[in-house]
């Protein structure tokens, strides 16, 4: 809280520190995955050339891909490629990996954005309800949700929902994303809900929501548990504090005391946790996408792993590591807004 100038300096310092950290983490991730991709038992050239290829053909592919160069040369070349945004070609789809990623990203982002908004908002609301009214049937139910939801394996919940709601009852499609052609809308962004919104087609919107429902519910069931639990304990702690009693004694409205003063303080750890969960979703979405054949980045990653497509595996590891670090850095930027005690210099 001094003059503006030092604060701006420290902001710049913080930014460059964060950028350097991102670079270090990604570099380590690249190095580890690169090392792994060169010690694997399978031969990438053989995979790329196809099963029917003879020895000479495999050799030619090896030269074309630069796999016969010394490992350090390959490493430097790979890093150089990354710096110019070139992740190499996929051995499986034969196209540039970046194109594949860009194509499958919208579906994943849609899934993550919808699930995250639901479990974040609903989790906070339910946690507040639980903390404010700690006794009653709802409290028992919330405790069951909080403990069971966190202990239940995601892949199994997905499977159960699929068997019950899609298979037996037929309320939802078993798997797959919105079929843009069948819904009669143009594919603009690749995310079904958005495209339906752009086309102003309520029926396509309904269809997109129906397709999203099961995967979203699977993610929400697992992730809402932690949000509810943490929100409850954090707010309950705050409600026990002296300042809350003081505020009540001064005659402030209950709403103002709980929802403004106490909640603001209680949200801090919850926001941190939500940021972490958002980071985890970047990876955790793989299982859900595989169960529901959701054509996003997770399914792409899974298929690449199945096919031992190293370039794609490395690209996905690098990209998701960068995403994870970035999300965590963004959460760090939200703190000072919630808690003025955390100043930018600190």
Partner 1 sequence: MSAADLPAVPDALAAAGSRRAGGGGRGVLWWAAATALGVLALVAFPGLLAPGDPYSLEVSNRFASPGSANLFGTDDAGRDILSRVIHGARYSLWSSILIVTFAAVVGTVYGALAAWYGGILDRLLMRTVDVFLAFPYLVFAMAVAASLGRGLTSTMVALCLLWWPSYARMVRGQVKSILNDYHIRAAVTLGASRGQILRWHVIPHTYNQLLVRFTLDIGNALVALTGLAFLGLGATPPLPEWGRMVADSKQFALTAWWYGVFPGVVIFLTVLNFVLLGEALRKRVEL
Contact region with partner 1 (CB under 8 A), list: 59-67, 81-89, 113-121, 161-169 = 161-169
Residue 155 Cβ, how far from partner 1 at the closest point, in Å?
4
Give dist(CA 5, CA 173) in Å, integer.
Answer: 57
The token pair that represents 324 in the structure block: 């994870």
DSSP secondary structure, 105-125, as one string: HHHHHHHHHHHHHHHHHHHHH
Is 158:214 a contact under the CB 8 Å cutoff? yes
Options 214, 221, 273, 274; binder of partner 1; rule CB under 8 A = 273
Residue with Cβ nearer partner 1 (155 or 206)? 155
232-251 binders of partner 1 (CB under 8 A): 232-233, 236
Q: Where are the alpha helices (DSSP H) in 152-201?
A: 154-161, 180-183, 192-198
Options 80, 153, 184, 202; binder of partner 1; rule CB under 8 A = 153
Binding mask 127-146 for partner 1 (x = CB under 8 A): ----------------x--x
Residue with Cβ nearer partner 1 (204 or 288)? 288
Residue 96 forms beta bridges with which residues? 89
Options 230, 257, 266, 267; binder of partner 1; rule CB under 8 A = 230
Options 36, 121, 125, 260; binder of partner 1; rule CB under 8 A = 36
Does 148 bind partner 1 (CB under 8 A)? Our answer is yes
Contact region with partner 1 (CB under 8 A), list: 2-10, 94-102, 226-234, 241-249 = 226-234
Give dist(CA 127, CA 259) in Å, integer.
Answer: 12
Classify residue 185 as left (phi > 0), alpha (psi -120 to 50) or beta.
beta
Residue with Cβ nearer partner 1 (44 or 192)? 44
HEC sequence for 221-256: HHHHHHHHHHHHHHHHHHHCCHHHHHHHHCCCCHHH
Residue with Cβ nearer partner 1 (32 or 141)? 32
């Amino acid at each position: 809280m001094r003059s503006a100038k030092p604060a701006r300096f420290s902001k710049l310092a913080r930014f460059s520190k964060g950028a350097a950290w991102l670079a270090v983490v990604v570099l380590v991730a690249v190095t580890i995955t690169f090392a792994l991709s060169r010690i694997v038992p399978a031969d990438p050239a053989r995979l790329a050339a196809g099963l029917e290829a003879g020895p000479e053909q495999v050799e030619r592919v090896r030269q074309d891909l630069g796999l016969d160069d010394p490992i350090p040369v390959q490493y430097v070349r790979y890093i150089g490629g990354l710096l110019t945004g070139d992740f190499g070609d996929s051995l499986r789809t034969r196209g540039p990996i970046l194109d594949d990623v860009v194509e499958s990203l919208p579906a994943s982002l849609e899934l993550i954005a919808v699930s995250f908004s639901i479990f974040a908002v609903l989790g906070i609301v339910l946690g507040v309800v639980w903390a404010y009214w700690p006794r009653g049937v709802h409290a028992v139910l919330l405790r069951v949700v909080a403990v069971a939801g966190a202990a239940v394996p995601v892949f199994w919940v997905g499977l159960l929902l699929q068997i019950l709601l899609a298979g037996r009852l037929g309320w939802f499609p078993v798997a797959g994303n919105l079929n843009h052609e069948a819904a009669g809308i143009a594919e603009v962004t690749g995310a079904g809900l958005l495209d339906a919104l752009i086309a102003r087609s309520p029926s396509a919107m309904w269809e997109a929501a129906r397709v999203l429902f099961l995967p979203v519910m699977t993610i929400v069931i697992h992730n809402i548990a932690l949000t509810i639990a943490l929100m409850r304990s954090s707010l309950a702690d705050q409600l026990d504090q002296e300042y809350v009693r003081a505020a009540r004694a001064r005659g402030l409205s209950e709403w103002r005391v709980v929802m403004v003063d106490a909640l603001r303080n209680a949200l801090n750890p919850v926001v941190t946790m939500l940021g972490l969960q958002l980071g985890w979703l970047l990876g955790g979405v793989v299982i859900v996408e595989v169960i529901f054949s959701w054509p996003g980045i997770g399914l792409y990653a899974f298929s690449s792993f199945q096919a031992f497509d190293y370039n794609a595996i490395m690209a996905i590891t690098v990209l998701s590591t960068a995403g994870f670090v970035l999300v965590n850095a963004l959460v760090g930027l939200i703190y000072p807004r919630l808690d003025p005690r955390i100043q930018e210099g600190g």
